[in-house]
Structure 1
Amino acid sequence: MRFNLLGPLEVIRDDARVPLGGVNRRATLGFLLLHANAVVPTADLVRALWGDSPPLTARKMVQNAIAALRDVLAVEGGVSLQTVPPGYMLRLDPSQIDLADFRDLVVSGRTAFRAEAWETAARHLRDALGLWRGPALADITEARAAWPELAALQEERLTALEDCAEAELALGLHRELVGELGAVAEAEPARERLCGLMMLALYRCGQQAEALSAFHRTRTVLVEEFGLDPAPELHRLQRVILTQDPALLVPPPRTRPGTAQPAAAPAPARQRPKRPMAERRQASVVLVEARMDAGTDDPERVDEALAEVAQVIDAEAAHYGGLVRGPLGPYRLVALGVPRTHGDDAARAVGAALAIRRRLGAARPATVRLAVATGEVLAVYRDEHDPEPAELTGAVLETCRRMLAHARPDGVHVCDRTRLAAGPRFGWRTGDAASGWHVTDDRPVPVVPPPTPAFVGRKQERERLWELLNETLRERRPHLVTVVGEPGIGKSRLVGEFGREVREHAGAVRVIFGNVSSLGIARPEPWWPGCPADRPVTEAGPDTASGLWPYRLGTLAEHTPLVAVVEDLHHTPGAFLDLLTCLHAQPPRAPLLVIATTRPEWPVDVPPDASTIVLPPLADAEITEVAGPLPPDLLPLIGGNPLFAQEYARHPAPRPTDPPPIPPQIRGLLTVRLDALPVEEKVVLRGAAIFERAASAEGVAAVTERPVAEVAELLGNLEHKGILHRGPGGHVFGQALLREVAYAQLPRKHRIAMHRRAAAWISRLPADQGDLLVHHHRQMIALTASGDRSVAALAEQANRTLTDAGHRAGMVGAHQIAARCFRGALELSMSSPVPVRQRLRLLYRQSLRRVGHQTPVR
């Protein structure tokens, strides 16, 4: 016996149709087939047959229909219609239903689609679409209220059609597709992907005007009916059609197996497509105003004075790592933290402003005022590989302008946020809210250092360092060990404590400390309070800040066994190469142990004869010992990082009910880590941050609009660098706070667009993954301003999509997933009519009952 749902309901036995009787019987069987092998409550059948106004004898009529259907199905051994409280279950082999065949073919087609096997994908998807003989259960729904299950089936059909059309467009079949896509687009004018495929097919047929008209029709429907603008990708397609981009042309046909491929002229090198990018960043900006004094009317003198001001600004900005913008009339802007964060951008900005003031002085024909402010900016790039943004916007620029209006000539005024971020290394004199704080001195202000926290854990790592030191002393040969860990994990504290232990217990061994700053300069310095450097690297001579300093280590080690600690080699790869070269050039009998600290994303590999110590996170009990008692919900965010724990202890949430904000120092450290990544990896990492749980290569490719193979390779790179870890279902962030920082760098409208793409991609996944939609619809609504008229449309769309996903999950027996979908729809439908919410509550209760829960729903 064969059951066909994709069109008018048919029951086929021995190639002949089986008569079913009246419409009630047909509707009952159709509804049971949609929920085959699952219990269907009698109340659901009553509602499916008569809606919200059933007759008084509805239950008796359902019983009569069930009895008649049992007589029809009794002759088929593999099919049974059973009474199972609180309703009925139709048991049969799913392969007897054409809907199961359709879904199997779609899965095969999409597997080939992801592998870009276009011919195979198109064949399977066409076969799947060929099973449809019209709207699902068309002879039943004409006289009945619309069933959500049928709306979900129609969505499956349209999505399969879109996949098939995309595969056939890749094969150059645009002329064959135009008519079919036009008819479907006429019936479904709000489907953006369908519109894009239609536009591409029309353009390739030489109908550019019709392609643009299709865009405008869809845009009109979206704006007038839903208050939404088309997605950025549809706008992008409109632009490239207007510019007649060659990338829209038909791809070259593939050679079929067994045929000879004609010789062709070598193809020109394919240019990488431009990918505009925008990002939110924390930045400190210096606004410099240079105005000519009254009475200076010699144009040549004016030009010379302004040229000198510009030269000084450019030089100091370059020294402090700032980006110069302007001139904008009498103003020049220096931005610190764009396009890369240094971790101390506020202090750099104040230092740059003071340096500019000193160099220009007061005896100039131009009067200079300076203001420094810190805050968020939006950096917009024409292409993600551009070295600097084309535009910078943000309220921080207006803050600077207001302070300049009150600034004293040749003074430096800063906002309160800059003062707090720059710390106690400058002198400050308070002003009012408009003028900000005045910098009075650039000499460090003595401060009492915070108490050193207890050193806990790291027993195995300390023992390993002692083993390496003893081996170096015994064999009297140089050895390199790298200590690898994420920012704040305790690399510096470990090597500092080890140095202290060596001085206390191995007095014959000299310990020196050095550091490679973020400016790429090697400098010696005491590294841990109470652990001063013993005759630091400056003994090697004046070449400390050059590439010659590593070669002096062997000279010291020839006379006295030496432990040389070099911090932060990730800032300057050249310093690491110098270390490797010098170790091979050292005297063979020099007892020299070099300990270098670095971060896991550093791309340089250590040599085989070197040692590596990777610092794991501390246990929760150890974190509590370092920072004191912390709220339990903070521990997963801290992730075993002692510095993060100390910062959260210093910056508690304003109220116990508020989510804890990321402390500024932690945000700065994580932003520095992100900025060290190549731009492609950073873009893919932000795409992974869109997903609440694991992020697969296919999902990230969908939200970033990049090829799956490219995304998979970049995710692998991030996994190799320790930023992502492979888990069930894809990649997850090793540090939860890093995901938050990466997500926060995305502009709000980009987040909404990426969540929309993620939801569209998830809707094509198997039904048992439908609950993944909840997060993305929740975020789209949360990111939309409360007064925006599109919020209601988004909530309605979320309600419809999640309800359909819940029904799909229930149809395959994934009732836990269905419950999550219905609950998400209920949470996002606060402003929906009461009947809608009551319906969702009922669906949620039914799903819970099917998995054995009795949780009340209010």
Structure 2
Amino acid sequence: MRFDLLGPFNVVHDGRPVVLRGATQRAVLAYLLLRHNEVIATSTLLQAIWADEIPATARKMVQNAVSGLRATLAQRTGAEQAMLLTHAPGYLLRVDSDQVDVSRFRRLAAEGRTAQAGGDVDQAVSAYRDALALWRGPVLADLTETGVVWPELVALEDQRIAVHEDLFGLELDRGHHHEVLTDLRGMAEANPNRERLNAQLMTALYRCGRHVDALEVYRATRASLAEGLGLEPGKELRELERAILQHDETLLTRRPDPAPRPAPEPAAEPAPVAEPLPFTPAPVIALPRSEPVESERKPVVAIGVALAATPDDDPEEAVAVQARLRTVVEEEALAAGAHLPGESGPVVLALFGLPRTDDDDAVHATRTALRIHDRLVTAGIATQIGVDSGDVLVEFTAAGPGQVAGPVLDRCVRSALRAPEGRIRVSDAVREASEPAVVHEASEDSPGWWHAVSVRQHPVAEPADPGGFVGRDHDLDLLNHLLGFVERGGRPHRVTVLGEPGIGKTRLLAEFAETLSEQPRIRVLDAGADVAEAFAVVPGLLPQTASRLRTEGGDSALRAAAGELTAYGPLVVLADDLHRADVETRDAVDRLGEACAGLPVLIVASARPGLLEAEHGERCGTTVSLAPLSDDAVGKLLDKLLPGTARLIRGRQELIGRIGGNPRFAHAYAQEVHGRTTPFPGLGQAMTPPLVRRTLAAQLDNLPATEKSLLKAASLAGDAFTAEDVAAVCGRDTAEIEGTLSRLASLSVLRREDDDAGYTFRRATLRELVYQRIPRATRTALLRRPVPRRVEALA
């Protein structure tokens, strides 16, 4: 059976059309095919089919349509199981992707981009043309005439245009400007705001000797952007116009048609890298794609690895060495949780920060680069490695990150190719973020760049806190109360302290241990990375018990050790940053309570909130969520961090608002403010410390997708907003939005205002970061909705 969506909707079996009965059946099947092999909630289906007003009998109509579709599909496929399955909270259409022309189109487009990245222009052109040949007209043309308007259809049309742009770009590079001019003009006229298309049309016209027409295209594009979006053309298009006016000779250059060859022939020396034309887009790396969900700007840390030299100019040996290099990079990157977007020419790339940002992505990336370097040196392979950070535009699909694009990919490739042989070239931003865990040395030949040398044996701890212990007396009293409960009851208890990065979890555990150090009868043990070893090295433990722990391990050995350590008083076991521990350590901490049954043992762990979700709260025991410090407590902390801050009074409250109750943020901002000779600048002028940006980015990505999506809409709805304001931006149900906003307020992400003004972001910096995550085109589309006055002012 074949399903054709790229044009009028057709279902074909054995060369004959399959009749679908009723508009609802056609709409249900079409929508499920657009998102096949994905569970679609019934509410989503209803909203898609009846966008304006859902009738009272809508659910029954969908159920009848599904029943009829099951019979039709089962009859045609002969399968024992229906392809259309009920799967809470809705339905799942199980289909081989090759049966759906949309999937074939995406697969061919991805194959074209992969071939293009690998330098096989003929294969790329062939794949792009095969992909575009699947289109028979506007996607689901007959359904759209009935009023169906789905975001998935707009996304597909955008992807079709993007493939056309990629194809035109390759044909222009091959000097085929006469051949593509007619098609290019038609596409550009139909899409007057697509700057890349119009840049390609300008280039084709110029190369055909039609200089005036090329300039007229620029003027028309500029007028369209100004009238429709209130925007000026981008830098690339402006530079292209200037190059045409100056008759720049680089506009006439083109790459020669590649000669067919059985195997790559390496040049005697590296060929010079030609400067790109002004309108050349940033590198795009295509990953295997499924159904698009949304695009997002995201910070990543990229590693690029390249061969330093080709051995003996032997093409077969070069291919073999490159394959070994790629294998090592893939193994180490995947083991570290990185994503592999593919090769960019001779450079193998790995990205940290997809799909979720972590506040120590730079540490993971640099350590991984060092491991890759060491393995390849051992294998006798000389390399050049670059590590850089920056934002990318990512198209997320149901399966994860899809297409990735951004200048940082190009910078990372260039950095790798320019790195000295055997060295790891690191940007200053990556060096600053990874400095606590990695030793660097300055690059002598490239100011502002560094070389990663080695992993520190003992990571640099945060400096001693000059601000002291502020605002956590209640939490400390609670831990002491639980210790008393353990001692009186003579049985173990687990407490897990949860909180965002920098909120003070580690400091609370350290302060708790400090208060107990004055009571010799209470033993305090830092579990560290090896629970059994931590017990074994406690002073006073019998040698035979310590030996059992090291040789046997297991719960019985732990119980014997705990029995000795609790002979005269309770035992406190501290397990800090449990979210960073490996599975074995987590399991050991989880089993500790059972192993110490009947003994006064208090287990105090700290972790980020994601651990509770991962463990489903089953073994976390009592959970203590550290709330942000009050503004008064932050003010007291600033007084200690910045004594004599009278000169900062003008910006003090603003600074407290940016800190948002996070002690680590207070320290970071204090370092920024320290030494200023002028008062702290106003909002929008203040520099956000990189540590704060990394931490907030990780916090944002740890939120569920629904809440994260809603925050994006809220960032467009003004400084203060209600559920109605957010609904006007994103078009979702107001009651659902109110519930999500309330939950975000309970998590201290938002703040509920007391004057019925609705909600505000607890930190202005988080709102800025969320806003920046939204692609500009999406912002424009959302803000052009009819919205309340405050949103119109923002637009």
Report the TM range for the smaller structure's normalisation: 0.5 to 0.7
Match of 1:228 in 2: 228
Quickly say closer, same or farther: Cα 1:226–1:416, change in 2 above 3 A.
closer
Residue 510 in 1 paired to residue 551 in 2? no
Aligned partners of 1:422 and 1:545: how far apart in 2?
A: 35
- Tell me if the contact between 2:723 and 2:741 (Cα under 8 Å) persists in the aligned partners: yes
Match of 2:606 in 1: 597
Match of 2:300 in 1: 283
Quickly say closer, same or farther: Cα 1:405–1:569, change in 2 above 3 A.
closer
Match of 1:439 in 2: 452
Matched residue SS, 1:461? helix
**Equivalent of 1:637 in 655, 658, 681:** 658
Matched residue SS, 1:324? strand
Aligned partners of 1:595 and 1:690: how far apart in 2?
A: 41
Match of 1:683 in 2: 709
Aligned partners of 2:552 and 2:501: how far apart in 1?
A: 25
Q: CA deviation at 1:407?
A: 1.9
Match of 1:346 in 2: 362
Q: CA deviation at 1:477?
A: 1.2
Describe how 1:736-751 pairs up with structure 2 within 5 A.
736-751=764-779
The amino acid of 1:351's aligned partner reads R
Match of 1:583 in 2: 593
Aligned partners of 1:445 and 1:692: how far apart in 2?
A: 46
Structure 1 gaps of 5+ residues are 1-112, 121-198, 232-272, 527-531, 763-772, 781-858
Aligned partners of 1:225 and 1:671: how far apart in 2?
A: 32
Match of 1:265 in 2: none
- Tell me if the contact between 1:369 and 1:411 (Cα under 8 Å) persists in the aligned partners: yes
Quickly say closer, same or farther: Cα 1:567–1:540, change in 2 above 3 A.
farther
Residue 461 in 1 paired to residue 485 in 2? no
- Tell me if the contact between 2:628 and 2:660 (Cα under 8 Å) persists in the aligned partners: no
The amino acid of 1:340's aligned partner reads R
Describe how 1:324-403 pairs up with structure 2 within 5 A.
324-361=340-377, 364=380, 367-381=382-396, 383=397, 385-388=398-401, 390-403=402-415
Match of 1:617 in 2: 629
CA deviation profile, 1:416-439 (whole Å, cap 9, x unmatched): 222222215313132234793233
Residue 410 in 1 paired to residue 422 in 2? yes
Aligned partners of 1:682 and 1:618: how far apart in 2?
A: 25
Quickly say closer, same or farther: Cα 1:477–1:702, change in 2 above 3 A.
same
Matched residue SS, 1:310? helix
Quickly say closer, same or farther: Cα 1:533–1:387, change in 2 above 3 A.
farther
Quickly say closer, same or farther: Cα 1:693–1:407, change in 2 above 3 A.
closer
Match of 1:126 in 2: none
Quickly say closer, same or farther: Cα 1:744–1:466, change in 2 above 3 A.
same
Describe how 1:30-49 pairs up with structure 2 within 5 A.
none
CA deviation profile, 1:446-504 (whole Å, cap 9, x unmatched): 97963432223322222222222122112211122233333322221111111011011
Residue 562 in 1 paired to residue 575 in 2? no
CA deviation profile, 1:643-698 (whole Å, cap 9, x unmatched): 11111001239864452222111221222122222223221222222222444444
CA deviation profile, 1:94-151 (whole Å, cap 9, x unmatched): xxxxxxxxxxxxxxxxxxx99956699xxxxxxxxxxxxxxxxxxxxxxxxxxxxxxx
The amino acid of 2:371's aligned partner reads A
Aligned partners of 1:114 and 1:287: how far apart in 2?
A: 46
- Tell me if the contact between 1:683 and 1:704 (Cα under 8 Å) persists in the aligned partners: no
The amino acid of 2:670's aligned partner reads A
Aligned partners of 1:691 and 1:539: how far apart in 2?
A: 63
Further displaced range: 654-663 or 284-293: 654-663
The amino acid of 1:512's aligned partner reads L
**Equivalent of 1:430 in 443, 451, 461:** 443
Aligned partners of 1:533 and 1:732: how far apart in 2?
A: 49
Aligned partners of 1:285 and 1:568: how far apart in 2?
A: 26
Match of 1:671 in 2: 697
Match of 1:724 in 2: 750
Aligned partners of 2:732 and 2:477: how far apart in 1?
A: 47
Give the paired residue count.
517
Aligned partners of 1:205 and 1:641: how far apart in 2?
A: 50
CA deviation profile, 1:341-397 (whole Å, cap 9, x unmatched): 221222222211111111111764x5421111122222233x3x3322x23333323
Describe how 1:757-772 pairs up with structure 2 within 5 A.
757=785, 760-762=786-788
- Tell me if the contact between 1:287 and 1:331 (Cα under 8 Å) persists in the aligned partners: yes
Aligned partners of 1:715 and 1:333: how far apart in 2?
A: 38
- Greater gyration radius: 1
- Tell me if the contact between 2:385 and 2:423 (Cα under 8 Å) persists in the aligned partners: yes
Aligned partners of 1:475 and 1:431: how far apart in 2?
A: 64
Aligned partners of 1:676 and 1:547: how far apart in 2?
A: 34
CA deviation profile, 1:578-630 (whole Å, cap 9, x unmatched): 75554245322x00111122345643447897363644514424223442245
- Tell me if the contact between 1:403 and 1:435 (Cα under 8 Å) persists in the aligned partners: no
- Tell me if the contact between 2:712 and 2:774 (Cα under 8 Å) persists in the aligned partners: yes
Aligned partners of 1:398 and 1:332: how far apart in 2?
A: 12
- Tell me if the contact between 1:279 and 1:378 (Cα under 8 Å) persists in the aligned partners: yes
Q: TM-score, normalised by structure 2?
A: 0.56
Describe how 1:297-316 pairs up with structure 2 within 5 A.
297=314, 299=316, 301-316=317-332
Describe how 1:699-718 pairs up with structure 2 within 5 A.
699-708=725-734, 711-712=737-738, 714-715=740-741, 717-718=743-744
Matched residue SS, 1:703? helix
**Equivalent of 1:648 in 665, 669, 674:** 669
Q: CA deviation at 1:705?
A: 4.5
- Tell me if the contact between 1:554 and 1:587 (Cα under 8 Å) persists in the aligned partners: no
- Tell me if the contact between 2:729 and 2:782 (Cα under 8 Å) persists in the aligned partners: yes
CA deviation profile, 1:389-420 (whole Å, cap 9, x unmatched): x2333332333333334322222111222222
Quickly say closer, same or farther: Cα 1:202–1:632, change in 2 above 3 A.
closer
Further displaced range: 326-335 or 746-755: 746-755
Match of 2:81 in 1: none
- Tell me if the contact between 1:515 and 1:523 (Cα under 8 Å) persists in the aligned partners: no
Q: CA deviation at 1:286?
A: 1.0
Q: CA deviation at 1:508?
A: 1.4
Aligned partners of 1:426 and 1:599: how far apart in 2?
A: 27
Aligned partners of 2:554 and 2:767: how far apart in 1?
A: 37
What is the identity percentage for the equivalent residue pairs of Structure 1 and Structure 2?
Answer: 28
Residue 499 in 1 paired to residue 513 in 2? yes
Aligned partners of 2:310 and 2:52: how far apart in 1?
A: 69
